[in-house]
């Protein structure tokens, strides 16, 4: 069986969690005799159309400006689609496994596979499959039901660009009759802003049509399965992936030491220093914890943009004023588990509806409970009071209360540790995906037979 996995970026470009997972899955599939390959858009640096990365064959394809404009509303660009069709022929792929859904990965790949009779499996790594805003938060601050709506969704996206909520709603209603296409508009910025609402409406309509061409959707969290169903995806197409690390199952793992009352309680954060990930929220909560409480916060942040550098500088300033806050270097993949095992708790203060944060599973694998936001995939993994604690989104006071609670009675942490479930490795996901690929191939052969 030949499977082509398609993320939005890939190594050697700086990867995210999705790309780390795609590489791990490809390697695990190949270890099980499945010819897994990767294709990804080319963004920066020297272009190489074909190379190997950790023994995984990789193809890169150029993304044209026209295809990005068309793909932004899920409209096919024939030239880009035909180019990807040629790539599918070259690789001999029998299944197309999508691991992103955006302008560069989605409509053109699906249409190319459709013409060749290649089944498509789409894995939902982000809420943007049904959320044009991408965060899963209505107006940026309230968990949304993620039902794609022709008025509400465009207004929410326009509001994210700076328009006040009432004005955004008005713009969405006023512009509902405007027609859009995939070409760039030369009109002024105000009119382009008004045109954003009908473009989002076109996107939602086109996306629902494309979903019919996907053979199966793989969701990584229980909370997201009913959302796809709510948006019209048949339940029989929706499959829940097993909970697992993007690592091989290890026989022995470092385990966090048991806390004692005379020890300093250490709480850590791992991830990008974006507003969405909430490291600044953790710092703000810590600043309100009385100084006499023996508690330490360790932040290993990743900085990849100017906005993240601004957050880094602010956290640096606050850490300089409070010795209990330690801003640490980013960790390499091999250093994550050893460092996690030294902590008493991991904090995941996300402000968005994440799908399935790998860092939570990494913490669980070394016996570390989690303090996390009661949103999306975080609350899907963390059972409040069993293997961690949950707090309302963006509530620094509630988080401060939990930090103080952990420091005052470290014995509570040991009780949480006892509730941590077993964590499986990438092998379980590989076996599951292999079954999905074989299933869609068999179903396709039955339909044409």
- Which pLDDT value is given to residue 251? 46
| pLDDT, position 163 | 85
- The CATH code of domain 265-418 reads 3.40.50.2000
pLDDT score, position 106: 96
pLDDT of residue 200: 86
Torsions phi, psi for 400 (to 5 deg): -60, -40
Least confident of 19-28, 204-213, 259-268: 259-268
What's residue 253's pLDDT? 52
pLDDT reported for residue 48:
87
**Residue 173 reports pLDDT greater than 90:** no
pLDDT confidence of 376, banded at 50, 70, 90?
very high
What share of the chain in percent tops pLDDT 90?
77
Residue 352 pLDDT level (bands cut at 50, 70, 90) = very high
Kindly tell me if the per-residue pLDDT of 308 is higher than 80. yes
The tens digit of pLDDT for each residue in 330-340 reads: 988 889 999 99
pLDDT at 142: 93
For 366, residues 6+ apart whose C-beta sits below 8 A from its C-beta are: 253, 254, 255, 256, 337, 340, 341
Over residues 389-445, the pLDDT tens digits come to 999 999 999 999 999 999 988 889 999 999 999 999 999 999 999 999 999 999 988
pLDDT at position 84 over 90:
yes
* pLDDT band at residue 43 under the 50/70/90 scheme: confident
pLDDT category, 57, cuts 50, 70, 90?
very high
Q: Outline which parts of the chain fall under CATH 3.40.50.2000.
A: 2-125+242-247+426-448, 265-418
pLDDT of residue 201: 87
Query: What is the pLDDT at residue 262?
Result: 53
Give pLDDT, residue 47: 86
Angle between helices 78-91 and 107-116 (to 10 degrees): 60
User: Which stretch of 51-55, 148-152, 236-240 has the lowest confidence by average pLDDT?
Assistant: 148-152
Check pLDDT > 60 for residue 185: no
How is domain 2-125+242-247+426-448 classified at the CATH fold level?
Rossmann fold (3.40.50)
Mean pLDDT throughout 373-377? 96
Q: How confident is the model at residue 257 (pLDDT cuts 50, 70, 90)?
A: low
Is a pLDDT exceeding 90 seen at residue 184? no
Q: Residue 249: what pLDDT?
A: 61
**Mean predicted lDDT score pLDDT of the chain:** 91
């Amino acid at each position: 069986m030949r499977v082509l996995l398609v993320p939005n970026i890939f190594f050697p470009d700086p990867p995210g969690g999705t790309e780390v997972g795609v590489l791990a899955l490809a390697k695990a599939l190949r270890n099980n005799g499945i010819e897994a390959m990767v294709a990804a858009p080319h963004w920066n640096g020297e272009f190489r159309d074909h190379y190997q990365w950790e023994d995984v064959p990789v193809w890169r394809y150029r993304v044209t400006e026209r295809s990005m404009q068309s793909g932004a509303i899920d409209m096919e660009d024939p030239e880009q689609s035909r180019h990807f069709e040629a790539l599918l022929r070259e690789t001999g792929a029998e299944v197309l496994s999508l691991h992103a859904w955006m302008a560069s990965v989605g409509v053109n790949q699906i249409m190319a596979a459709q013409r060749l009779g290649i089944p498509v499996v789409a894995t939902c790594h982000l809420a943007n499959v049904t959320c044009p805003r991408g965060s899963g938060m209505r107006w940026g601050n309230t968990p949304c039901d993620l039902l794609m709506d022709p008025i509400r969704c465009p207004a929410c996206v326009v509001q994210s660009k700076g328009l006040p909520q009432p004005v955004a709603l008005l713009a969405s209603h006023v512009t509902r009759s405007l027609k859009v296409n995939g070409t760039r508009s030369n009109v002024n910025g105000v009119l382009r802003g008004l045109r954003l609402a009908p473009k989002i409406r076109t996107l939602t309509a086109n996306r629902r049509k494309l979903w019919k061409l996907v053979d199966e959707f793989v969701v990584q969290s229980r909370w997201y399965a009913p959302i796809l169903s709510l948006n019209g995806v048949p339940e029989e197409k929706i499959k829940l992936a097993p909970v697992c690390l993007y690592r091989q199952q290890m026989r022995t793992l470092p385990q966090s030491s048991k806390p004692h009352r005379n020890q300093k309680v250490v709480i850590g954060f791992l991830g990008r220093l974006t507003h969405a990930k909430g490291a600044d929220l953790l710092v703000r909560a810590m600043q309100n914890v009385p100084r006499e409480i023996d508690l330490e916060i360790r932040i290993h942040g990743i900085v990849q943009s100017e906005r993240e550098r601004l957050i880094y500088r602010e956290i640096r300033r606050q850490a300089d004023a409070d010795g209990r806050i330690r801003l640490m270097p980013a960790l390499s993949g091999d250093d994550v588990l050893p460092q996690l095992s030294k902590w008493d708790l991991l904090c995941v203060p996300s402000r968005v509806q994440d799908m399935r944060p790998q860092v939570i599973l990494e913490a669980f694998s070394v016996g570390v409970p989690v303090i996390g936001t009661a949103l999306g995939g975080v609350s899907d993994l963390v059972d409040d009071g069993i293997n961690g604690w949950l707090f309302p989104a963006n509530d620094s006071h509630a988080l401060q209360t939990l930090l103080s609670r952990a420091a005052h009675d470290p014995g509570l942490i040991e009780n949480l540790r006892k509730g941590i479930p077993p964590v499986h490795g990438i092998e379980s996901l590989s076996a599951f995906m292999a079954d999905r690929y074989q299933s869609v191939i068999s179903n396709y052969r039955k339909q044409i037979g």
